[in-house]
Structure 1
Amino acid sequence: MLTEERYAAILKLLEEKKAVSVLELTELLNSSESTIRRDLTALHRMGKLTKVHGGATSINGVYQMTEDKTSVRHNLHVEEKNRIAQCAASLVHKNDFVFLDAGTTTERMIDYLHEQDAVYVTNGIVHARKLAEKGLEAYILSGKIKAVTEAIVGTEAVHSLQRYHFSIGFFGTNGMRAGDGFSTPDIEEARVKTEAIQRCNKRYVLADPSKYNQLYSVIFADLSQAAVITTALPDKQLRSHTTVIETDLGKEQTSS
Structure 2
Amino acid sequence: MITNQRYEKIMDCLNERGTASVNDLVDITNSSTATVRRDLTHLESKGLLKRVHGGATVEQMEREEDYTEKSVKNLSKKLKIAQIASELIEDGDTVFIDAGTTTYEMMPFIKASEVTVVTNSITLIDQLVRNGHQTIVLGGRVKPATKAVVGHDVIEKLRTLSFDKCFIGVNAIDLHHGFTTPDEDEAYIKKTAVEHSRRAFVLADSSKFERSAFVKFAQLEEASIITEDPDHPFLVKARSGTEITGGESNDIYRDV
Q: What TM-score results when the alignment is normalised by the length of structure 2?
A: 0.71
Tell me the amino acid that sits aligned with residue 196 of structure 1: A
Specify the alignment match of 1:53 in structure 2. none
- Preserved contact between residue 177 and residue 238 of structure 1 (Cα < 8 Å): no
Specify the alignment match of 2:60 in structure 1. 62
Asked if 1:216 corresponds to 2:213, the answer is yes
Partners in 2 of 1:173 and 1:107 — Cα distance?
13
Specify the alignment match of 2:203 in structure 1. 206
Specify the alignment match of 2:96 in structure 1. 99
Deviations 1:125-159, CA, capped at 9 Å, x for gaps: 11122201212111110111111000011111101
Deviations 1:25-54, CA, capped at 9 Å, x for gaps: xxxxxxxxxxxxxxxxxxxxxxxxxxxxxx
Specify the alignment match of 2:251 in structure 1. 243
Partners in 2 of 1:225 and 1:152 — Cα distance?
23
SS at match of 2:117: strand
Partners in 1 of 2:100 and 2:126 — Cα distance?
14
Tell me the amino acid that sits aligned with residue 220 of structure 1: F
- Preserved contact between residue 206 and residue 227 of structure 2 (Cα < 8 Å): yes
Q: How many residues are paired up?
A: 188
Q: 2:142 aligns with which of 140, 145, 148?
A: 145
Specify the alignment match of 1:161 in structure 2. 158
Partners in 2 of 1:238 and 1:63 — Cα distance?
20
Rate the CA distance shift 1:208–1:61 in 2: closer, same or farther, 3 A. farther
Partners in 2 of 1:222 and 1:63 — Cα distance?
18
Deviations 1:83-120, CA, capped at 9 Å, x for gaps: 10001000001111110001011110011012221111
Partners in 2 of 1:114 and 1:138 — Cα distance?
15
SS at match of 1:125: coil
SS at match of 2:118: strand
SS at match of 1:80: helix
Specify the alignment match of 2:233 in structure 1. 234
Partners in 2 of 1:182 and 1:243 — Cα distance?
15
Q: 1:171 aligns with which of 168, 171, 176?
A: 168
Specify the alignment match of 2:48 in structure 1. none
- Preserved contact between residue 154 and residue 191 of structure 1 (Cα < 8 Å): no
Rate the CA distance shift 1:61–1:245 in 2: closer, same or farther, 3 A. farther
Deviations 1:149-205, CA, capped at 9 Å, x for gaps: 000111111011012000111000000000110000000000000011100001100
Partners in 1 of 2:181 and 2:60 — Cα distance?
13
Displacement after TM superposition at 1:61 (Å): 6.4
Q: What TM-score results when the alignment is normalised by the length of structure 1?
A: 0.71
Partners in 1 of 2:95 and 2:193 — Cα distance?
10
Partners in 1 of 2:177 and 2:59 — Cα distance?
11
Q: Which ranges of structure 2 fall in alignment gaps of 5 or more residues?
A: 1-57, 245-249
Q: What value does the CA root-mean-square deviation take over the aligned residues?
A: 1.4
Higher strand share: 1
Asked if 1:110 corresponds to 2:107, the answer is yes
- Preserved contact between residue 172 and residue 180 of structure 2 (Cα < 8 Å): yes
- Preserved contact between residue 61 and residue 177 of structure 1 (Cα < 8 Å): no
Q: Which ranges of structure 1 fall in alignment gaps of 5 or more residues?
A: 1-59, 251-256
Partners in 1 of 2:72 and 2:190 — Cα distance?
23
Deviations 1:190-229, CA, capped at 9 Å, x for gaps: 0000011100001100000110011000001111000000
- Preserved contact between residue 84 and residue 105 of structure 1 (Cα < 8 Å): yes
